[in-house]
């Protein structure tokens, strides 16, 4: 991968930006309740991440901080497309997927603030968490590794004759790792009920997709290379993404084998909190800011006849949920320093005596 000093920006066609992606599934059947819930989840992710970014700037977040700004619709859509008994392995751009699966706002802040009552008991900054009670596998930050893990879960469901689906995400950068290729191959050979959502946001850190791979048509590579049906969808269009992922989940559940969706978007932020994303051309960024998934979905709901009071209530509900969740997490205890070595692996250092 190139870093920001070496990456340059090649010319981008509208196709490469996913703008001419035909709608793969008719989204007109998506119910009003689901539309509103998609918007609520996107707003909630955005509000939690904005608040957490402020906490980061105040020095209250360990490590860096990663947002999914501009990509919220994809995690929200996938989270709602899954059934309660399905499992999912999200990455760090998909907070809305956690929220859709029932993870409480206070729990998210317990994780980010490293509280004792968070899933990693404060051992890990704000990244490698999962909530098994909600069917969410913890994140493994080696890109691509969650693919074979998810295939394993799907294989277990198949062997037990359970009508359950396992879904995971990876990015265009993750697409270039060996584990993804092995996982896709195995998924196809074993015909497991797995769904893969590729978040093609055009950059792996500062490296544009054209410098990561020769053939940037991820959907056709997955379809042609592994015989896994892969639809491309505009990931800034929450309804189309929901319809597309839902159809993939139901095909996998109906024993039609693994399925994939390439969701095209742009993160409207740097790779992490410290990154100003100067390598993204201003025109491209402005284009995607204008197609912000929250703006698009809000506009869609207005066209559907949803009134301003309903939209206002939704926004206020989200603001209150974030304030209450943060207050609750702030009152949770920090880990006791005396337990520092509990629950972590230790490497004995030769010759060093422990006191």
Residue ranges binding ligand TPP (CB under 6 A)? 1, 93, 141-143, 170-174, 177, 199, 201, 203-205, 271
Residue from 77, 78, 58, 56 nearest 67 by CA? 56
The answer to whether the CB of 16 falls within 8 A of the CB of 216 is yes
Smallest distance from ligand TPP to CB 27, Å = 24
Contact 291, 285 (CB under 8 A): no
Q: Which residues contact 183 (CB under 8 A, 6 or more apart)?
A: 144, 147, 148, 150, 151
CB of 95 to ligand TPP, least distance (A): 12
Pick the closer one to ligand TPP by CB: 201 or 298.
201
**Is 11 or 142 the residue whose CB approaches ligand TPP more closely?**
142
CA 13 to CA 27: how far, in whole Å? 26
For the bound state, the minimum distance from the C-beta of residue 177 to ligand TPP, rounded and expressed in Å, comes to 5
- In angstroms, the CA 45 to CA 49 distance is 6
Distance CA 292, CA 124 (A): 31
CB 229 within 8 A of CB 61: no
- Distance CA(315)–CA(22), nearest Å, equals 31
CB of 214 to ligand TPP, least distance (A): 16
Minimal distance in Å, beta carbon 180 to ligand TPP?
10
128/251 with CB nearer ligand TPP? 128
Which of 6/141 has CB closer to ligand TPP? 141
CB-wise, 142 or 347, nearer to ligand TPP? 142
User: Which residue number, 56 or 170, has a Cβ lying nearer to ligand TPP?
Assistant: 170
Of the candidates 47, 42, 49, the one whose C-alpha atom is nearest the C-alpha of residue 76 is 42
Least distance CB 98 / ligand TPP (angstroms): 16
- CA quadruple 150, 155, 160, 163: dihedral sign: positive
Contact 111, 128 (CB under 8 A): no
Pairing of strands 203-204, 207-208: antiparallel
| Residue 147 to residue 155: CA distance in whole angstroms | 12
Q: Which is nearer to ligand TPP, 12 or 93 (CB)?
A: 93
CB 216 within 8 A of CB 134: no
The answer for 274, left when phi > 0, alpha when psi is -120 to 50, beta otherwise, is: alpha
Tell me whether residue 34 or residue 199 sits nearer to ligand TPP (CB atom). Answer: 199
Residue 287's H or E segment, with its range, is helix 282-290
| Least distance from ligand TPP to the Cβ atom of residue 197, Å | 12
Compute CA distances 156 → 55, 149, 191, whole Å: 40, 11, 12
Tell me 136's DSSP state: B
Query: Please, what is the minimum distance in Å from the beta carbon of residue 319 to ligand TPP?
Result: 27
Question: Residue 104 or 287: which CB sits closer to ligand TPP?
Answer: 287
CB 218 → ligand TPP: shortest distance, Å? 11
């Amino acid at each position: 991968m190139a870093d920001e000093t070496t990456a340059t920006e090649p010319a981008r066609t509208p196709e490469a930006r996913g703008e001419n992606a035909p709608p793969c599934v008719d989204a007109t059947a998506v119910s009003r309740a689901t539309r509103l819930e998609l918007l609520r989840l996107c707003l909630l992710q955005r509000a939690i991440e904005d608040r957490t970014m402020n906490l980061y700037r105040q020095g209250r977040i360990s490590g860096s901080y990663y947002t999914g700004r501009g990509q919220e619709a994809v995690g929200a859509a996938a989270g709602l497309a899954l059934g309660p008994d399905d499992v999912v392995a999200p990455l760090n751009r998909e907070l809305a997927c956690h929220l859709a699966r029932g993870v409480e706002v206070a729990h998210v802040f317990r994780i980010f603030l490293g509280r004792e009552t968070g899933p990693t008991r404060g051992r890990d900054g704000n990244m490698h968490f999962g909530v098994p009670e909600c069917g969410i596998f913890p994140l493994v930050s080696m890109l691509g590794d969650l693919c074979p893990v998810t295939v394993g879960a799907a294989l277990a469901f198949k062997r037990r004759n359970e009508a359950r689906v396992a879904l995971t995400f990876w990015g265009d950068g993750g697409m270039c790792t060996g584990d993804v290729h092995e996982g896709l191959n195995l998924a196809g050979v074993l015909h497991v009920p797995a769904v893969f959502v590729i978040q093609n946001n055009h950059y792996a850190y500062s490296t544009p997709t054209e410098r990561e791979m020769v053939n940037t048509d991820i959907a056709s590579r997955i379809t042609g290379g592994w015989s896994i049906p892969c639809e491309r969808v505009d990931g800034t269009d929450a309804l189309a993404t929901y319809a597309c992922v839902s159809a993939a989940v139901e095909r996998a559940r109906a024993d039609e084998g693994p399925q994939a969706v390439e969701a095209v978007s742009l993160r409207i932020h740097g790779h992490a909190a410290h990154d100003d994303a100067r390598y993204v051309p201003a025109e491209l960024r402005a284009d995607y800011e204008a197609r912000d998934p929250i703006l698009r979905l809000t506009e869609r709901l207005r066209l559907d006849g949803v009134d301003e009071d309903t939209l206002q209530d939704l926004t206020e509900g989200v603001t209150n949920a974030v304030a209450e969740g943060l207050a609750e997490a702030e009152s949770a205890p920090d880990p006791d320093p005396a337990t520092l070595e509990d629950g972590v692996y230790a490497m004995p250092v030769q010759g060093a005596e422990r006191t």
